[in-house]
């Protein structure tokens, strides 16, 4: 993808958010293998603070890692992605594909063949996620194991994989610096928001976009999407302030793109942050999505949800994070009504709320 897709100056601090792209002329988100089901494997999270053998992580991730190449006429660019299932679906960022819409897409496997033709299955510019597909017989497909992004904690070691500046099969290591970031990466008239993003200090540079952020067991917990730069060094590399889409949310969008070629964006109408284990211990709040703001005119407001409530379930599905809440809402269509469970001042309550569109 092209570098030009991602640079945004954010406020008076002079920080630019840069989508991790590398461009040519276009411009410069249950332990074990997924088996034969064709679906990405899910896994429980490694305990926070456990040691991280980066060499072992790399060995587990590389068979699932790809470089995504896009070409439109004489112009081209690249990004990264992860093999999502045995049907040939690959998860990446939308801004990897955007500069070459109508052109060609190929992938290079970090541990496999290069220049494998791919087709676009679905794009969702609003969340900066996309799915492409290769012929399952074109390469040996190793779906990445998917972890639980809701279990991430600040300070936890993580590893980013991708193709910065086109250097295929690159690993960088760091820690989770913060959680529940909302990062505007839209360009011009194209709105795009990284929802409940994971902030990390692992280096993410142009070409890393769409690649997996993984835990110390090699399980994907995010999709590397954007990095920040000071305005004085906007042409430089990573400054250790980078963002990934949590895997819980990315997986919900990917499922819709695979099934329908597009994603809906149903909402309850709340802005929230995740109540982490650490936050729960210090405040006495339950795990869930802590409502910071209720948007007037939407379902949550009509149902009586208030700022300070902690949403713990949606339609009978337990949620312990903002991205799990969003993923649960994604299972419904605008106009549906769902039961929302929440805690208010320590008391469990349930209301029925209408799912809306933004």
Task: Summarize pLDDT for 147-199 with one digit per residue, the tens.
Answer: 999 899 999 999 999 999 889 999 999 999 998 887 777 665 566 677 788 99
R_g of the chain computed on alpha carbons: 19
Q: Are 220 and 198 in contact (CB under 8 A)?
A: no
Q: Find, among 150, 119, 356, the residue nearest to 249 by Cα.
A: 150
Numbered ranges of CATH 2.40.10.120 in the chain: 1-29+57-263
Q: Find, among 288, 328, 335, the residue nearest to 309 by Cα.
A: 288
Numbered ranges of CATH 2.30.42.10 in the chain: 270-354
Give pLDDT, residue 12. Answer: 24
Catalytic residue positions? Answer: 95, 128, 209
CATH number for the region 270-354 comes to 2.30.42.10
Three-point CA angle 79, 174, 218, nearest 5°: 70
Strand partners of residue 193: 184
What backbone phi and psi angles, to 5 degrees, belong to 280? -65, -40
Cβ neighbours of residue 316 closer than 8 Å, sequence gap 6 or more: 339
Q: Are 209 and 80 in contact (CB under 8 A)?
A: yes
CATH number for the region 1-29+57-263 comes to 2.40.10.120
Q: What is the pLDDT of residues 229-259, one digit of tens each?
A: 555 544 556 677 889 999 999 999 999 999 9
Cβ neighbours of residue 299 closer than 8 Å, sequence gap 6 or more: 267, 268, 269, 337, 353, 354, 355, 356
Give pLDDT, residue 171. Answer: 95
Is the whole-model pTM more than 0.85? no
Report, as ranges of residue numbers, the positions in the chain whose pLDDT lies below 50: 1-18, 20-37, 41-49, 233-234
């Amino acid at each position: 993808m092209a570098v030009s897709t991602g640079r945004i100056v954010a406020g008076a601090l002079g920080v630019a958010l840069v989508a991790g792209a590398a461009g040519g002329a276009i411009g410069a988100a249950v332990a074990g293998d997924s088996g034969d089901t064709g679906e990405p494997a899910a896994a429980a999270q490694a305990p926070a603070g456990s040691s991280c053998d980066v060499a072992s992580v790399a060995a587990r991730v590389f068979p699932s890692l790809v470089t995504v190449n896009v070409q439109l006429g004489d112009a081209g660019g690249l990004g990264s992605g992860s093999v999502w299932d045995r049907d040939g679906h690959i998860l990446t960022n939308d801004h990897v594909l955007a500069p070459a819409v109508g052109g060609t897409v190929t992938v290079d496997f970090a541990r496999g063949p290069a220049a494998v033709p791919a087709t676009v299955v679905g794009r969702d510019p609003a969340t900066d996620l996309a799915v492409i597909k290769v012929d399952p017989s074109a390469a040996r497909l190793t779906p990445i194991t998917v972890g639980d992004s809701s279990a991430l904690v600040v300070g936890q070691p993580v590893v980013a994989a991708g193709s910065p500046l086109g250097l295929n099969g690159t690993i960088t290591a760091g820690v989770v610096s913060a959680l529940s970031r909302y990062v505007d990466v839209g360009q011009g008239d194209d709105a795009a928001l990284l929802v409940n993003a994971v902030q990390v200090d692992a280096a993410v540079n142009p070409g890393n976009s769409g690649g997996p952020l993984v835990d110390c067991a090699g399980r994907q917990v995010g999709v590397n999407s954007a990095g920040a730069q000071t305005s004085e060094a906007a042409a430089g590399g990573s400054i250790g302030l980078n963002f990934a889409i949590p895997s819980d949310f990315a997986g919900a969008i990917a499922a819709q793109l695979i099934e329908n070629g597009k994603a809906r964006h149903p909402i309850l109408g709340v802005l929230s942050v995740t109540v982490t284990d650490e936050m729960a211990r210090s405040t006495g709040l339950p795990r869930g999505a802590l409502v910071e703001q209720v948007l007037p005119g939407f379902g949550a407001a009509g149902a009586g949800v208030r700022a300070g409530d902690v949403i713990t379930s949606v339609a009978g599905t337990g949620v312990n994070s903002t991205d799990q809440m969003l993923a649960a809402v994604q299972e419904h269509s605008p106009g549906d009504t769902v039961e929302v469970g929440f805690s208010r001042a320590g008391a469990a309550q349930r209301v029925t709320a209408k799912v809306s569109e933004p």
